[in-house]
């Protein structure tokens, strides 16, 4: 359970010793492949745990992170009022894999997700600029947060129009530049190719979702291109038919909201972001065991936000159980990987055919004018 933690500490130790060439930051498991935000956060943990030697203290810190993550997730779910209370037992107590990812393996994935859930809480409170800042910070810890980006872009266009969302996108971009600046000044190509390597190959032995394929197919670039096309097609279909509710063309999102003939009703922010991420997970080139945290806390909402008569409560709980079983099967098998895809397919069908979730309503306030100003 110490392998990844030690590798992280070796990677940030080079930075602590003054190495600013990103290609020279390495650990036992290979070169550093995460953006600069990861380096700063784990450098803090490096010093807080006696240069990474006090692993027990690191586990306590990650246990605190686990509780904070649950608090942020519960706050989001309280705003939706869609998921039965008994489901939260499974979220808190029934996932050995999630507890392992947080407290035993000390991965960076839960750090990125906790920051992401904080950003979503800010979006729900109409603090869009601060939310974009935190969203970008989460991306700088691990790039899987970009799976939420299509949904966030749609929300920004719906809320502010093309010109209005540009400042929000600039916030995201500027933070990435600021965090990466020490490395960009020394070796910009090395930093960009290492920390934002979208073409990185994954090892077949670690895949959870594609074990039923022959390894040569798994590594084939044509297969990767097919998955990318499926991802883009899924995003397009959801944007056109599940996210967009105005009577106007979707291109009307580019206009200023005040100039639209048929103003778009306020969207369910959580539905757009969670479904955007889930589509990316379904079309991922490879899912490793720590990637389960990318969408574990969103699954109850995805199953209960769009009610259908065909998929009642008990089948949904069973679906959560089968997904958990697939992620706890090590090493993955043909049966476990196929079962995971079947479960993902059922969730997608639920999102597509289920009743649309209710519209998001901004929180009540005694000073609505102040809220409106913050939203800008």
* pLDDT value for 277: 98
Tokens at 252, concatenated: 């009307």
pLDDT (0 to 100) of residue 370:
43
- Whole-prediction pTM value? 0.92
Residue 168 gets which letter from DSSP?
A: H
DSSP bridge pairs for 27: 30
Contact between 218 and 204 (Cβ < 8 Å): yes
- Residue of higher predicted confidence among 360 and 93: 93
What's the token pair of residue 279? 């589509």
Q: How far is CA 249 from CA 150, 241, 243, 261, 267, in A?
A: 18, 11, 12, 11, 16
Which has the higher per-residue pLDDT, 266 or 369?
266
Question: Above 70 in pLDDT, residue 192?
Answer: yes
pLDDT on residue 94: 80
Q: What is the average per-residue pLDDT within 106-125?
A: 97
Question: Read out DSSP for 68-109?
Answer: HHHHHHHHHHHHH--S-TTHHHHHHHS-HHHHIIIIIS--SH
Q: What is the pLDDT of residue 156?
A: 95
- Among 282, 294, 302, which residue's Cα sits nearest to residue 242? 302
Could you give the angle at the alpha carbon of 123 between the alpha carbons of 119 and 127, nearest 5°?
100
Phi, psi values for residue 170, rounded to 5°: -65, -35
Which band of pLDDT confidence, cut at 50, 70 and 90, is reported for residue 79? Answer: confident
**pLDDT over 90 (residue 260):** no
Q: What is the pLDDT of residue 363?
A: 53
Q: Say which range, 103-117, 246-260, 279-293, has the weakest mean pLDDT.
A: 246-260
pLDDT for residue 267 is more than 90: no
Please write the tens of the pLDDT for every residue from 198-232.
777 788 989 999 999 999 999 999 999 999 999 99
**Neighbouring C-alpha atoms within 13 Å toward the C-beta of 197:** 16
Q: Are 243 and 157 in contact (CB under 8 A)?
A: no
**Predicted local confidence at residue 28, as pLDDT:** 84
Q: What are phi and psi of 27, to 5 degrees?
A: -135, -175
Q: What is the pLDDT of residue 349?
A: 92
> How many CB atoms within 10 Å of residue 283?
20
* Confidence class for position 367, pLDDT limits 50, 70, 90: very low
Predicted pLDDT at 266: 59
**At 356, is the pLDDT very low, low, confident or very high (cuts 50, 70, 90)?**
low
Map residue 27 onto helix, strand or coil: strand
Report whether pLDDT(336) > 80: yes
- How confident is the model over 20-46, as pLDDT tens digits? 999 999 988 889 999 999 999 999 999
**Contact by Cβ (8 Å): 119, 16:** no
pLDDT of residue 313: 75
Q: How far apart are CA 238 and CA 280, in angstroms?
A: 12
Task: Work out the angle between the directed axes of helices 269-282 and 149-186 (0-180°, nearest 10).
Answer: 70
- Other Cβ atoms within 10 Å of 185 Cβ, number: 10
Condensed to tens digits (0 to 9), the pLDDT of residues 294-333 reads: 999 999 999 998 776 555 778 888 999 999 999 999 999 9
The sign of the torsion formed by the CA atoms of 10, 14, 20, 22 equals: negative
């Amino acid at each position: 359970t110490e392998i990844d933690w030690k590798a992280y500490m070796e990677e940030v130790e080079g930075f602590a010793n003054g190495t600013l060439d990103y290609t020279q930051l390495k650990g036992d498991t290979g070169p550093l492949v995460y953006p600069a935000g990861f380096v700063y956060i784990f450098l803090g943990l490096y010093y807080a745990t006696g240069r990474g030697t006090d692993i027990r203290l690191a586990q306590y810190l990650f246990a605190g992170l686990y509780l904070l993550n649950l608090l942020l997730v519960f706050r989001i779910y309280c705003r939706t009022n869609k998921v039965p209370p008994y489901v939260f037992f499974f979220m808190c107590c029934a996932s050995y894999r999630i507890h392992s990812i947080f407290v035993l393996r000390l991965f960076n994935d839960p750090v990125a997700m906790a920051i992401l859930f904080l950003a979503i809480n800010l979006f729900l409170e109409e603090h869009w600029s601060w939310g974009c800042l935190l969203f970008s910070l989460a991306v700088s810890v691990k790039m899987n947060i970009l799976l939420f980006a299509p949904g966030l872009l749609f929300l920004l266009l719906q809320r502010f129009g093309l010109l209005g969302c540009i400042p929000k996108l600039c916030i995201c971009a500027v933070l990435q530049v600021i965090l990466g600046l020490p490395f960009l000044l020394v070796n910009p190509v090395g930093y960009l190719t290492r920390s934002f390597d979208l073409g990185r190959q994954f090892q077949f032995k670690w895949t959870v979702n594609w074990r039923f394929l022959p390894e040569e197919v798994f590594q084939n670039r044509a297969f990767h291109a097919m998955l990318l096309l499926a991802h883009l097609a899924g995003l397009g279909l959801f944007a056109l038919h599940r996210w967009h509710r105005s009577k106007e063309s979707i291109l009307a999102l580019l206009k200023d909201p005040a100039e639209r003939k048929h103003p778009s009703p306020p969207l369910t922010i959580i539905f757009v972001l969670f479904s955007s991420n889930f589509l990316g997970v379904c079309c991922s080139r490879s899912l490793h065991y720590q990637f389960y945290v990318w969408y574990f806390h969103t699954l109850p909402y995805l199953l209960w936000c769009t009610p259908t008569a065909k998929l009642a409560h008990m089948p949904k709980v069973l679906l959560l159980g089968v997904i958990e079983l697939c992620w706890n099967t090590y090493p993955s098998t043909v049966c476990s990987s196929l079962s995971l895809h079947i479960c993902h397919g059922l969730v997608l069908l639920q999102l597509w055919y289920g009743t649309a979730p209710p519209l998001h309503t901004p929180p009540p306030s005694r000073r609505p004018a102040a809220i409106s100003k913050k939203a800008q």
